[in-house]
Amino acid sequence: MNLGNNYVAEIEVISPLHINSGKGDLLFDIDYAIDKRDIWVIDIEKMLKAVDVNFWNQRNCSVQISKLLKEQKYPECSRYRLSQTSRGQQIYRIKEQLKDPFDRLYIPGSSLKGAIRTCLAWGMIVGGGMPITKNDFGRHYRFAAQPIEAKLFGQTPNHDLLRALHVADSESIDIKKSLNLYLVSVYSISHQTGSLKLNSKGTRFRFHVEAVPPQTMFRTRLRLDKYLLQNDFKLQFSSKREKMSAKPSSFWLIHFARHCNAFAEEFIKTEIDFYADYGLETVMQFYEGLRQQLFTLDREREFLLQLGWGTGWLSKTIGMALSDELLDFVRSRFRLGRRGAKEFPKSRRLIEINQIPKMPLGWIKVKLEQEHA
């Protein structure tokens, strides 16, 4: 990549993507209603206009949709309709997807940039001569990675390497054909007939989530800041960081697509081995297909990322860069996982279709094209 260029990024969803709205779950008969075929998320203002005032008073101001609306009224009083991948299940609550004020879908620039940041941190540790020791971790789990981030990217936000990467929110897209309802189940390692298997943890660990389906396309823009990158010193990075690494700071950002693919390749290999070991053939096949897709990419212009809810500890941390000894230390200090358990993390959140685990959440492919004035 050339410094200072603007890029258009085309984003293709590979596995269902859920970015949580942060508003809390949608609740049955309060936020949504279900007829024989569909789920209707209700617009309260439309419902109030459709309900006769006297009828409302007779119902003692009940907020239950089923006591205020007949099924044939659901479509005209709805914000949107959800398609289900698995039918015949009782659905009491739904995790809501992030939307703009007009109920259109988008991917926040902060989510993309955060995923890229994780890939760069992993790359700096594994291939950039920036080893991590026990002394680099914070004392409390909420601040565990802050000293490491300062060491890798800069001591303060004003001196952070990723100041030079600007990622915009994606353009919004219509919700009608771009949002489905999925069942996500937690699978965990357990003993079964004398061996260890990956099994569903049961009803209490199943979640209905709104998610963007595969093959959905988004567009966004990003920019590498020429002023900040043409001379590394302008970011005033830690001299300790520069002395430790043989590569200049700008190397990591200019070639971020390459580093994202390196992280994805290692992560995919780890997951293939994991699902092969614990007997989940369908998910292992998904990752085999993802690995084949990775090998066809232009590594400087296209890359794979995993982001959003349900993607797990490995995708959001530098965990794969830690030695076994250091990982044991981190688990002990921050009380991660069950004491004495060999495998960590031992659970995964997976999309289930007809009670069969099919794939993980949140994989996307990003293709960059230089934007010309």
Per-residue model confidence (pLDDT) at position 67: 83
**Nearest CA to 123 among 8, 251, 35?**
251
Per-residue model confidence (pLDDT) at position 335: 87
Instruction: Give the separation between CA 152 and CA 129, rounded to whole angstroms.
Output: 11
109 plus 156 within the same structural domain: yes
75 vs 141, higher pLDDT: 75
52 plus 171 within the same structural domain: no
Per-residue model confidence (pLDDT) at position 307: 96
250 plus 117 within the same structural domain: yes
Q: What is the pLDDT of residues 5-26, one digit of tens each?
A: 899 999 999 999 999 999 999 9
The full DSSP string for 228-278 is: HHSSGGGG---HHHHHH-SS-HHHHHHTHHHHHHHHHHHHHHHHHHHHHHT
Q: What is the pLDDT of residues 179-200, one digit of tens each?
A: 999 999 999 998 777 678 899 9
Which range (17-21, 128-132, 260-264, 361-365) has the least confidence?
128-132
Distances (CA, A) of 192 to 139, 199, 292: 38, 9, 32
Per-residue model confidence (pLDDT) at position 130: 79
Among 94, 117, 147, identify where a domain stops.
Answer: 94
1 in any annotated domain:
no
Instruction: Work out the average pLDDT over 249-266.
Output: 91
pLDDT band at 259 (very low <50, low <70, confident <90, very high): very high
Which DSSP state fits 289?
H
298 in any annotated domain:
yes
18 plus 32 within the same structural domain: no
Our CA angle for 209, 212, 214, nearest 5°, is 120
Q: What is the pLDDT of residues 277-325, one digit of tens each?
A: 988 999 999 999 999 999 999 988 999 999 999 999 999 999 999 999 9
In this structure, what token pair is assigned to residue 141?
Answer: 């789990």
162 plus 36 within the same structural domain: no
13 plus 41 within the same structural domain: no
113 plus 73 within the same structural domain: no
Instruction: Give the separation between CA 172 and CA 11, rounded to whole angstroms.
Output: 12
116 in any annotated domain:
yes
Q: What is the pLDDT of residues 211-241, one digit of tens each?
A: 999 999 999 999 998 877 776 545 544 444 4
Domain count, the chain: 2
324 in any annotated domain:
yes
> Which range in 50-54, 332-336, 360-364 is most confidently predicted, on average pLDDT?
360-364
Spatial neighbors of 246 by CB under 8 A, at least 6 apart, are: 128, 129
Per-residue model confidence (pLDDT) at position 99: 97
Query: What range defines the domain where residue 132 resides?
Result: 6-24+100-370
Residue 245 has pLDDT above 70, yes or no: no
58 plus 118 within the same structural domain: no
Q: What is the pTM of this model?
A: 0.91
Among 94, 116, 142, identify where a domain stops.
Answer: 94
Distances (CA, A) of 86 to 31, 78, 170: 20, 21, 29
359 in any annotated domain:
yes
Q: What is the pLDDT of residues 118-143, one digit of tens each?
A: 999 999 999 877 788 888 888 877 78
208 in any annotated domain:
yes
74 plus 211 within the same structural domain: no
168 plus 147 within the same structural domain: yes
Instruction: Give the separation between CA 201 and CA 189, rounded to whole angstroms.
Output: 9
Mean pLDDT of the residues in the chain: 87
Task: Using DSSP, state whether 94 is helix, strand or coil.
Answer: strand
Given the structure tokens 């001196």, which residue do they identify? Answer: 159
Q: Per the omega criterion (within 30 degrees of 0), is the bond before 157 cis?
A: no
Per-residue model confidence (pLDDT) at position 87: 61
**Nearest CA to 364 among 6, 5, 18, 1?**
18
**Nearest CA to 265 among 255, 277, 257, 254?**
257
Task: Using DSSP, state whether 224 is helix, strand or coil.
Answer: strand
Question: Do the beta carbons of residue 13 and residue 31 sit within 8 Å?
Answer: no
**Ranges assigned E (strand) in the chain:** 6-13, 26-27, 32-34, 39-42, 78-84, 93-94, 165-167, 180-192, 195-200, 206-211, 217-224, 302-306, 347-353, 356-359, 363-370
60 in any annotated domain:
yes
Q: What is the pLDDT of residues 79-120, one digit of tens each?
A: 999 977 666 578 999 999 999 999 999 999 999 999 999 999
Among 76, 94, 112, identify where a domain stops.
Answer: 94
Spatial neighbors of 8 by CB under 8 A, at least 6 apart, are: 219, 220, 221, 368, 369, 370, 371
Question: Strand 39-42 to strand 32-34: parallel, antiparallel, or no bridges (unpaired)?
Answer: antiparallel
321 in any annotated domain:
yes
Instruction: Work out the average pLDDT over 244-273.
Output: 86
178 plus 85 within the same structural domain: no
Per-residue model confidence (pLDDT) at position 246: 52
76 plus 109 within the same structural domain: no
